[in-house]
Every structure is written in structure tokens, then in C-alpha cells.
Amino acid sequence: MAMHRHLLVITVLQYFPLYLMSGISAAPKPSFPAVWVFGDSLVDSGNNNYVLLALAKANLPPNGIDFPTHHATGRFCNGKHSIDILCEYMGLPYPPPAKAPSSRGFAILKGLNYASGAGGILNGTGANYIDRISFNEQIVLFQQTIRELNHLLGEAAAKDLLRNSLFASIFGSNDYINNYILESNNASRIQYTPSQYVDLLISTYKTQLTTVYNLGARKFVVSAVGPLGCIPSRLAIGSVDGSCVASVNELVLGFNNALKPLLLELTQTLPGSMFLYGNAYDAVYDLIQDPSPAGFNVVNRGCCGAGKYNGALPCLPVVERICTNRNEYIFWDAYHPTQAFNEILGRRTFLGPPSDISPMNIQQLSMLQL
């Protein structure tokens, strides 16, 4: 179905209150029956805790210090990541990690999270962290979930559940940080020019997203890559004065500029689908350039870590001090944002204008009949 036909059926929506876990009254009816999450450490809820040889893990404090349980869950954050916040707006529980032993049976009916720290679009991405779950491997896990859903609900009901669910995909950061611009391995840079690498990522991503569609997904939100030249780990490597590394951001923009038309193409060519583009790049970059209206004071330093800009070492228990004013920091550690930033991103994804998420926001997508 062409995109213009989708847009004709969007209706004016009433504001959905936050989910009960946020401390605000729960929505009377969930926006979607379930949410299924594919991605990397930005939205990993603990899958890597169950990957034996994965070096990218956040299962130790002070990670999780501001999470409702006040302990490390496997989220690379002081608290909730952006999908958690989005689920609160949608009236859904946080989808549990798919690799957790308890994520079986009726526990999966509201959705699962397949995201994995160091995972990427390309199978080879993140090899410097030894083991991780790439997007292709996450799709295999999702196929196993579908078989279980068919057993629990019957094929017709399972198909209906997936058709009305939200599918989130957050990939691409590691394909640059832990692949193309990785200092210890320049094989990809030797083999591909920046534009050739974008073509490789986009063609691979197209196949993967189409596979998820063919497995029953219809409503997607796909995130752009944020300004990687502004994260503390890159500042520690290539910034003299704490300002963003422009050359890295230019690489990322090359990917994002190709991703948006890809999602338009998929919407137009895959019947009954809608692919939203989440503009995470501008969400981060704009706040770095003008942080004070949102209450941020520190834009180029991790709250937890060590070395230059707290970007040289990850957030580990051996870190002597972490910042106490965490709500004033955009970055939690060398790579990941704070809960305070995730709250902004989640809200803008659910309710934001086309500059934040296009061609519509998640609230509007929830009411769209495909």
C-alpha cells in the first residue's frame, strides 16, 4: 500500500498517559498488543548476560543505579533505555531479554527484546568483543519465538498478534564504532570506501528488515544512528577541545541519508507495511548544541568511566566516582546516553513531530489500520 494511502487514515489521537511503572496512571488500553526489539547495546535489556563469551556486558554496578530495581540488569545505562520509556508511553511492560531462561511460554506474549551489546547489521561487526548476537542471529531467535507463539496461540492468532505489534530496530552504531572506524582493525576501511560501506550496510539491512516483514511484522520504527563523533569514546580518541569529531559524524550522516529513503521504499513496496524513521541523530546533536533548555549541563563527558572525557574506560565497579547529578549529563558512559536523555528520546519517538520521527509518530502508528 502506498504511503499516501496510509496517511489518509491517520486520526487525531488523545494523549496516552504513561505506563504504571513510571509512577503515573497506566494507559487504559495498550497502544500495541506487543513490542519486539532488535538492536545493539543502546537497547540491550540483558541478553548479553546469557551469552557466555560476550565481553560487552553491563551486569555490574553502577549500571542500573537509577533503574526501578536499583541494580544492574544488563542495560548499558544508569536506568531505563529508550525502549523502556517508549513502552511506558505505549502502556506495555518492558519486553524481557529473549535469551533469559524465563522468557518462555506466556511470558513472551507482550513481546521480547533480542538486542545485544556489540551486535550489528553485519555479522562480523563487534568481533572485538568476541561473542554477541548480530541482527541475522536475532532474526533466528525471532523465528524460534514465532514457532512458540504458534504453539501457544495457534497460527492465525499468532499472525494477528505480529501484524498489530510494534517492531523496533536500532542498529548501525557498532557497524561504525566496532567495525569501520575501529582502530585495531581497518580491514573494512581498506576494502570499502565510505559510500561503498553505506551501500553494503543498506543492502544488508534491506534484506534483514524484509525478512522480518515476511515473518509477519508490519509496523516498524527504525532508528537512525546518532552522532558518533560526539560520544565520549570518540572524543577521547580524536578531540582536542571536547567538540564533536566532524569526520566521524560525516560517516554516520552518509548512512542516515541512505536509511531514510530505504524505509520509504520498503513502505511503498511491501504491502500493508509502515516503516518509521526515528531521527536519533538530531535528537542527540541538537541537545549537545543547546543543552540548557532540557536541563543538561554536561554534553561531552560520561558520568561514569575513566580517562579523557571519561571515554577511555567503560563503567565498571572499579571506577572510583560517578557523577551525582546524573540528570544533567547526556552520556552515562563512553558510548551510551543517560536515562535522562532516554526519557526525552522515548517521548519524542512516541509523540514527536516529523522532525523527530517520520512520516508519523508511534502514537499515530498505533491507530493506523494496515
C-alpha cell at 1: 500500500
C-alpha cell at 99: 535469551
pLDDT, average across residues 226-255: 97
Rounded to whole angstroms, how far apart are CA atoms 19 and 28?
9
Q: Cα torsion at 30, 35, 41, 46 (round to 10°)?
A: 90
Whether the Cβ atoms of residue 171 and residue 120 lie closer than 8 Å to each other: yes
Question: Sorting pLDDT into bands at 50, 70 and 90, what band is 320?
Answer: low
CA angle 185, 240, 318 (to 5 degrees): 65
Q: What is the pLDDT of residue 143?
A: 98
Q: What is the pLDDT of residue 319?
A: 81
> Hey, which residues are catalytic here?
41, 333, 336
Question: Sorting pLDDT into bands at 50, 70 and 90, what band is 1?
Answer: very low
DSSP for 103-156? --GGGGTT--B---TT--SSTTTTGGGB----HHHHHHHHHHHHHHHHHHH-HH
Whether the Cβ atoms of residue 106 and residue 156 lie closer than 8 Å to each other: no
Whether the Cβ atoms of residue 277 and residue 360 lie closer than 8 Å to each other: no
Helix (H, G, I), strand (E, B) or coil at 68: coil
**What is the tens place of the pLDDT at every residue in 334-360?**
999 999 999 999 999 999 999 999 999
Q: Is the peptide bond before 227 cis (omega within 30 degrees of 0)?
A: no
Q: Which residue has the higher pLDDT, 325 or 184?
A: 325
Question: What percent of the chain lies above the pLDDT cut of 90?
Answer: 88
Q: What is the pLDDT of residue 11?
A: 29
Residue 130 backbone dihedrals phi, psi, to 5 degrees: 65, -90
Question: Sorting pLDDT into bands at 50, 70 and 90, what band is 186?
Answer: confident
C-alpha cell at 230: 560526539
> How confident is the prediction for the chain on average, in pLDDT?
92
Tell me which residue has cell 560487552.
56
Residue 330 backbone dihedrals phi, psi, to 5 degrees: -80, -40
Burial (CB count <10 Å: 0-12, 13-18, 19+), residue 347: middle
Question: Sorting pLDDT into bands at 50, 70 and 90, what band is 35?
Answer: very high
Q: Cα torsion at 67, 72, 77, 83 (round to 10°)?
A: -60
Q: Which domains does the chain have, with CATH numbers?
A: 30-364 (3.40.50.1110)
Q: What is the pLDDT of residue 355?
A: 98
Per-residue pLDDT at 28 exceeds 50 = no
Q: How far is CA 90 from CA 27, 85, 272, 366, in A?
A: 7, 9, 22, 9
Q: Cα torsion at 228, 267, 86, 170 (round to 10°)?
A: -30
Tell me which residue has cell 526515528.
278
Q: What is the pLDDT of residue 248?
A: 98
**What is the tens place of the pLDDT at every residue in 125-183?**
999 999 999 999 999 999 999 999 999 999 999 999 999 999 999 999 999 999 999 98
Whether the Cβ atoms of residue 302 and residue 310 lie closer than 8 Å to each other: yes
